[in-house]
Amino acid sequence: MIRFAPGMEEALRQGDLFSSDDEAARFWSVDAPDVPYEETTYTGGARQPQRARLYRGDADAPTLLYIHGGGWCGGSIDLNDPATRGICSESSWNVFSISYRLAPAHPYPAGLEDCLAAFRWLQDAGATLGLRPGPIALGGDSAGANLAMAASLALEAQDVAALVLFYGVYGHDLNTDSYRAYRNGPGLTRARMVEMFENYDPEHRRERGPLIAPLNATDLARTPPACLIAAEHDVLLDDSRRMAAALAEAGTPHAFHVEPGVTHGFINRGRLVPAARASVSRAASFLKDLKDPG
């Protein structure tokens, strides 16, 4: 029998009632921290303009580039607004939340190329936005955590300040204990993960490529300090456990926490789920406690 954290069952029921992502985004952003932000664009991997939103922290604070989840096929800046607002408010870091090209219209490597382009665009153009130069942190949830980890493997190690990763996709093994335990949910199912992998990686490069399945990487020792937060009732729980173990074996400083009683996607449900706000606070504290990366 699944034991849910306070508010989690209500959040799941509420999620079934929305008729659109816009409606969901408006509902979940109620009571999110009030931080200044501005809409902008960056130049994507194919030189296309891509939407972004800059949440303003302290003027002299570093910047976190945040990548939304949605199985590489969906999701949005707006759906992640509660978490990105919370991280900005509680850490005082600037948060640059980005869109990117989505599968199946744009399979791998389009989304990753956009994330890398956003990072490099921030390095070059951040000063025009009033952002402090220096290393930039990468963060994301679910597929966004996958893209953040993949981007860190592709970038120069000294340029990436840290990683903030919520319930990420790190491997391609769909027969782990957590996949078997939660194959039918609640929330994300194994069948949905199969579908999303096929949309994002129709050529099955994930079986050998660390930029799709970062657990294939052989150079995790160069990974920056990382904060990994996982959901207990989630097919992807063992992905986070395995990544935490791999980082430990590589000697990479990291923090790993499994939030009990919650499901995949919970961090933006703080309106109803206190554990969501607690996990956002945990990530923000990780950033605040970092030695100044600049």
Q: Which residues are catalytic?
A: 142, 234, 264
Whole-angstrom distance, CA of residue 96 vs CA of residue 238: 29
Partners of residue 263 on adjacent β-strands: 233
Whole-angstrom distance, CA of residue 258 vs CA of residue 277: 14
- Our CA angle for 136, 85, 220, nearest 5°, is 35
DSSP state at residue 134: S
Please report where in the chains the tokens 């640059």 appear, as a residue.
96
131 touches 94 (CB < 8 A): yes
Look up residue 187 and give its two tokens. Answer: 């929330």
Whole-angstrom distance, CA of residue 91 vs CA of residue 87: 6
Q: Which residues contact 98 (CB under 8 A, 6 or more apart)?
A: 42, 50, 51, 52, 65, 66, 67, 68, 77, 114, 115, 118
Whole-angstrom distance, CA of residue 118 vs CA of residue 113: 9
